[in-house]
Protein backbone atom coordinates (compact mmCIF):
# COMPACT_ATOMS: atom_id res chain seq x y z
CA UNK A 1 0.00 0.00 0.00
CA UNK A 2 2.37 2.65 -1.23
CA UNK A 3 1.75 6.29 -0.46
CA UNK A 4 2.91 8.67 -3.14
CA UNK A 5 4.40 11.98 -2.09
CA UNK A 6 2.03 14.75 -1.09
CA UNK A 7 2.30 18.23 -2.53
CA UNK A 8 1.16 21.80 -2.15
CA UNK A 9 -2.11 21.75 -4.10
CA UNK A 10 -2.34 25.48 -4.77
CA UNK A 11 -2.88 26.25 -8.45
CA UNK A 12 -2.67 22.66 -9.71
CA UNK A 13 -4.81 20.61 -12.05
CA UNK A 14 -7.55 18.52 -10.45
CA UNK A 15 -5.93 15.58 -12.24
CA UNK A 16 -2.66 16.25 -10.41
CA UNK A 17 -2.81 13.19 -8.17
CA UNK A 18 -3.79 10.96 -11.08
CA UNK A 19 -0.93 12.35 -13.17
CA UNK A 20 1.49 12.05 -10.25
CA UNK A 21 0.61 8.38 -9.88
CA UNK A 22 1.11 7.82 -13.59
CA UNK A 23 4.50 9.52 -13.41
CA UNK A 24 5.43 6.79 -10.91
CA UNK A 25 4.53 4.10 -13.45
CA UNK A 26 0.88 3.39 -12.61
CA UNK A 27 -1.44 3.05 -15.58
CA UNK A 28 -4.94 2.65 -14.17
CA UNK A 29 -5.78 5.06 -11.33
CA UNK A 30 -9.18 4.82 -9.64
CA UNK A 31 -10.78 7.46 -7.43
CA UNK A 32 -12.85 6.09 -4.55
CA UNK A 33 -15.54 7.78 -2.46
CA UNK A 34 -18.70 6.93 -0.55
CA UNK A 35 -22.11 8.34 0.30
CA UNK A 36 -24.14 7.56 3.38
CA UNK A 37 -21.82 7.19 6.35
CA UNK A 38 -23.79 9.60 8.50
CA UNK A 39 -27.50 8.80 7.96
CA UNK A 40 -29.71 6.99 10.45
CA UNK A 41 -31.20 4.80 7.73
CA UNK A 42 -30.27 3.10 4.48
CA UNK A 43 -27.13 1.50 3.06
CA UNK A 44 -23.71 3.01 2.54
CA UNK A 45 -22.78 3.24 -1.15
CA UNK A 46 -19.28 3.55 -2.60
CA UNK A 47 -18.10 4.25 -6.13
CA UNK A 48 -14.81 3.74 -7.94
CA UNK A 49 -14.09 5.71 -11.10
CA UNK A 50 -11.21 5.49 -13.57
CA UNK A 51 -11.01 8.54 -15.83
CA UNK A 52 -9.36 8.69 -19.25
CA UNK A 53 -6.28 10.79 -19.98
CA UNK A 54 -7.08 14.50 -20.26
CA UNK A 55 -10.61 14.12 -18.86
CA UNK A 56 -12.50 17.39 -18.41
CA UNK A 57 -15.97 18.07 -17.05
CA UNK A 58 -16.26 21.75 -16.10
CA UNK A 59 -17.91 22.31 -12.73
CA UNK A 60 -17.43 18.77 -11.46
CA UNK A 61 -16.42 18.76 -7.80
CA UNK A 62 -17.28 17.21 -4.43
CA UNK A 63 -20.92 16.08 -4.63
CA UNK A 64 -21.72 17.89 -1.37
CA UNK A 65 -20.95 21.19 -3.12
CA UNK A 66 -23.35 20.43 -5.97
CA UNK A 67 -27.12 20.68 -6.12
CA UNK A 68 -29.21 17.60 -6.78
CA UNK A 69 -29.91 18.92 -10.28
CA UNK A 70 -26.18 19.35 -10.96
CA UNK A 71 -25.38 15.85 -9.67
CA UNK A 72 -28.08 14.33 -11.86
CA UNK A 73 -26.64 16.19 -14.85
CA UNK A 74 -23.07 15.04 -14.20
CA UNK A 75 -24.00 11.43 -13.40
CA UNK A 76 -24.78 10.19 -16.95
CA UNK A 77 -21.82 12.17 -18.32
CA UNK A 78 -19.46 10.42 -15.90
CA UNK A 79 -20.98 7.06 -16.76
CA UNK A 80 -20.52 7.75 -20.47
CA UNK A 81 -17.06 9.33 -20.43
CA UNK A 82 -15.24 7.39 -17.70
CA UNK A 83 -12.99 4.49 -18.60
CA UNK A 84 -14.66 2.40 -15.89
CA UNK A 85 -17.19 2.90 -13.08
CA UNK A 86 -17.85 0.48 -10.24
CA UNK A 87 -20.46 0.72 -7.48
CA UNK A 88 -20.51 -1.18 -4.20
CA UNK A 89 -23.15 -1.29 -1.46
CA UNK A 90 -23.05 -2.37 2.18
CA UNK A 91 -26.43 -3.08 3.70
CA UNK A 92 -27.97 -1.81 6.92
CA UNK A 93 -27.50 -5.30 8.42
CA UNK A 94 -23.80 -5.18 7.57
CA UNK A 95 -23.46 -1.69 9.03
CA UNK A 96 -25.01 -2.86 12.31
CA UNK A 97 -22.94 -6.04 12.39
CA UNK A 98 -19.44 -4.71 11.60
CA UNK A 99 -19.82 -0.92 12.23
CA UNK A 100 -20.07 1.92 9.73
CA UNK A 101 -16.33 2.30 9.08
CA UNK A 102 -15.85 -1.37 8.22
CA UNK A 103 -19.05 -1.39 6.17
CA UNK A 104 -17.79 1.64 4.24
CA UNK A 105 -14.51 -0.11 3.47
CA UNK A 106 -16.47 -3.20 2.41
CA UNK A 107 -18.59 -1.10 0.02
CA UNK A 108 -15.40 0.43 -1.38
CA UNK A 109 -13.88 -3.02 -1.95
CA UNK A 110 -17.03 -4.09 -3.79
CA UNK A 111 -16.95 -0.95 -5.94
CA UNK A 112 -13.34 -1.67 -6.94
CA UNK A 113 -14.15 -5.30 -7.74
CA UNK A 114 -17.05 -4.15 -9.95
CA UNK A 115 -14.78 -2.07 -12.17
CA UNK A 116 -14.54 -3.45 -15.70
CA UNK A 117 -10.84 -2.54 -15.70
CA UNK A 118 -8.62 -3.49 -12.76
CA UNK A 119 -6.89 -0.48 -11.17
CA UNK A 120 -3.23 -0.55 -10.15
CA UNK A 121 -3.47 2.52 -7.89
CA UNK A 122 -6.26 3.95 -5.73
CA UNK A 123 -6.97 7.51 -4.64
CA UNK A 124 -9.25 7.31 -1.60
CA UNK A 125 -11.22 10.13 -0.03
CA UNK A 126 -10.48 10.29 3.69
CA UNK A 127 -7.79 8.86 5.94
CA UNK A 128 -8.45 5.11 5.99
CA UNK A 129 -6.80 2.76 3.48
CA UNK A 130 -8.78 -0.09 1.94
CA UNK A 131 -7.63 -3.60 2.91
CA UNK A 132 -6.66 -4.64 -0.62
CA UNK A 133 -3.22 -5.41 -1.99
CA UNK A 134 -3.28 -2.47 -4.38
CA UNK A 135 -1.09 0.63 -4.22
CA UNK A 136 -3.14 3.45 -2.72
CA UNK A 137 -3.12 6.95 -1.32
CA UNK A 138 -5.62 8.48 1.08
CA UNK A 139 -6.50 12.14 0.60
CA UNK A 140 -8.19 14.36 3.15
CA UNK A 141 -10.91 16.29 1.29
CA UNK A 142 -9.97 14.25 -1.75
CA UNK A 143 -13.36 14.87 -3.36
CA UNK A 144 -12.33 18.53 -3.74
CA UNK A 145 -8.74 17.79 -4.79
CA UNK A 146 -8.97 14.89 -7.24
CA UNK A 147 -11.22 14.78 -10.28
CA UNK A 148 -11.61 10.99 -10.18
CA UNK A 149 -12.61 11.10 -6.49
CA UNK A 150 -15.05 13.93 -7.26
CA UNK A 151 -16.57 11.79 -10.02
CA UNK A 152 -16.84 8.86 -7.59
CA UNK A 153 -18.53 11.08 -5.02
CA UNK A 154 -21.21 12.08 -7.53
CA UNK A 155 -21.84 8.50 -8.65
CA UNK A 156 -22.09 7.23 -5.06
CA UNK A 157 -24.42 10.06 -4.02
CA UNK A 158 -26.76 9.74 -7.00
CA UNK A 159 -26.99 5.95 -6.67
CA UNK A 160 -27.68 6.15 -2.94
CA UNK A 161 -30.28 8.91 -3.34
CA UNK A 162 -32.11 6.80 -5.91
CA UNK A 163 -32.07 3.80 -3.58
CA UNK A 164 -33.58 5.91 -0.80
CA UNK A 165 -36.20 7.36 -3.15
CA UNK A 166 -37.28 3.84 -4.06
CA UNK A 167 -37.67 3.00 -0.37
CA UNK A 168 -39.68 6.21 0.10
CA UNK A 169 -42.45 4.76 -2.05
CA UNK A 170 -42.66 1.72 0.23
CA UNK A 171 -42.42 3.69 3.49
CA UNK A 172 -43.89 7.15 2.84
CA UNK A 173 -44.36 7.93 6.54
CA UNK A 174 -40.61 8.38 7.08
CA UNK A 175 -40.02 10.99 4.36
CA UNK A 176 -36.97 9.26 2.87
CA UNK A 177 -37.43 11.07 -0.46
CA UNK A 178 -36.71 14.37 1.30
CA UNK A 179 -33.89 13.58 3.74
CA UNK A 180 -32.48 10.34 2.25
CA UNK A 181 -32.15 8.85 5.74
CA UNK A 182 -30.15 11.68 7.32
CA UNK A 183 -31.02 12.75 10.85
CA UNK A 184 -33.13 15.79 10.07
CA UNK A 185 -35.78 17.01 12.49
CA UNK A 186 -38.50 15.60 10.21
CA UNK A 187 -36.83 12.20 10.17
CA UNK A 188 -36.25 12.11 13.94
CA UNK A 189 -39.88 13.02 14.52
CA UNK A 190 -40.98 10.16 12.25
CA UNK A 191 -38.78 7.68 14.16
CA UNK A 192 -40.24 8.89 17.46
CA UNK A 193 -43.79 8.56 16.13
CA UNK A 194 -43.60 5.34 14.12
CA UNK A 195 -40.53 3.64 15.58
CA UNK A 196 -37.57 2.35 13.50
CA UNK A 197 -38.21 0.27 10.39
CA UNK A 198 -36.02 -2.34 8.72
CA UNK A 199 -34.03 0.40 6.98
CA UNK A 200 -32.90 2.04 10.21
CA UNK A 201 -29.42 1.46 11.61
CA UNK A 202 -30.20 -0.04 14.97
CA UNK A 203 -26.74 0.64 16.43
CA UNK A 204 -26.96 4.38 15.72
CA UNK A 205 -27.86 6.97 18.32
CA UNK A 206 -31.20 8.43 17.34
CA UNK A 207 -32.51 4.98 16.41
CA UNK A 208 -31.51 2.53 19.14
CA UNK A 209 -33.42 4.52 21.75
CA UNK A 210 -36.68 3.66 19.95
CA UNK A 211 -36.14 -0.03 19.25
CA UNK A 212 -38.96 -1.14 21.53
CA UNK A 213 -41.26 0.67 19.12
CA UNK A 214 -39.67 -0.91 16.05
CA UNK A 215 -41.79 -1.50 12.95
CA UNK A 216 -41.34 -4.80 11.08
Check residue 212 and give its pLDDT: 77
Check residue 91 and give its pLDDT: 98
Number of domains observed in the structure of the chain: 2
Residue 6 resides in a domain: no
Residues (pLDDT < 70) of the chain are 1-13, 213-216
Cα 161 from chain centroid? 11
Rounded to the nearest 10°, the torsion over CA 51, 118, 146, 178 is 90
Residue 179 resides in a domain: yes
Whole-angstrom Cα distance, residue 152 to residue 49? 5
Choosing from 148, 164, 180, the residue where a domain stops is 164
Check residue 148 and give its pLDDT: 97
- Residue 21: give the domain boundaries: 16-164
Check residue 10 and give its pLDDT: 38
Q: For residue 97, what are the CA distances in angstroms to 31, 101, 137, 201?
A: 27, 11, 27, 10
Residue 151 resides in a domain: yes
Check residue 7 and give its pLDDT: 41
Check residue 8 and give its pLDDT: 41
Same domain for 45 and 30, yes or no, is yes
Same domain for 123 and 205, yes or no, is no
Whole-angstrom Cα distance, residue 73 to residue 89? 22
Residue 1 resides in a domain: no
Q: What is the pTM of this model?
A: 0.92
Three-class DSSP category at 137: strand
Check residue 206 and give its pLDDT: 95
CB 213 within 8 Å of CB 195: yes
Check residue 161 and give its pLDDT: 98
Check residue 17 and give its pLDDT: 95
Q: Are strands 135-139 and 121-125 parallel, antiparallel or unpaired?
A: parallel
Q: Are strands 44-50 and 29-35 parallel, antiparallel or unpaired?
A: antiparallel
Check residue 14 and give its pLDDT: 82
Whole-angstrom Cα distance, residue 74 to residue 171? 29
Same domain for 118 and 193, yes or no, is no
Check residue 1 and give its pLDDT: 36
Residue 70 resides in a domain: yes
Amino acid sequence: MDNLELFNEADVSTLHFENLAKSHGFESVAGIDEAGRGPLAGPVVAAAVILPEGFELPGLTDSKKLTEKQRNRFYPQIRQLATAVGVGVASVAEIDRINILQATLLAMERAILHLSKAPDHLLIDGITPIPLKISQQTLIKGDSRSLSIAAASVVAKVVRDRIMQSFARQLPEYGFAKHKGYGTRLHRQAIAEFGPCYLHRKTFSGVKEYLEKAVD
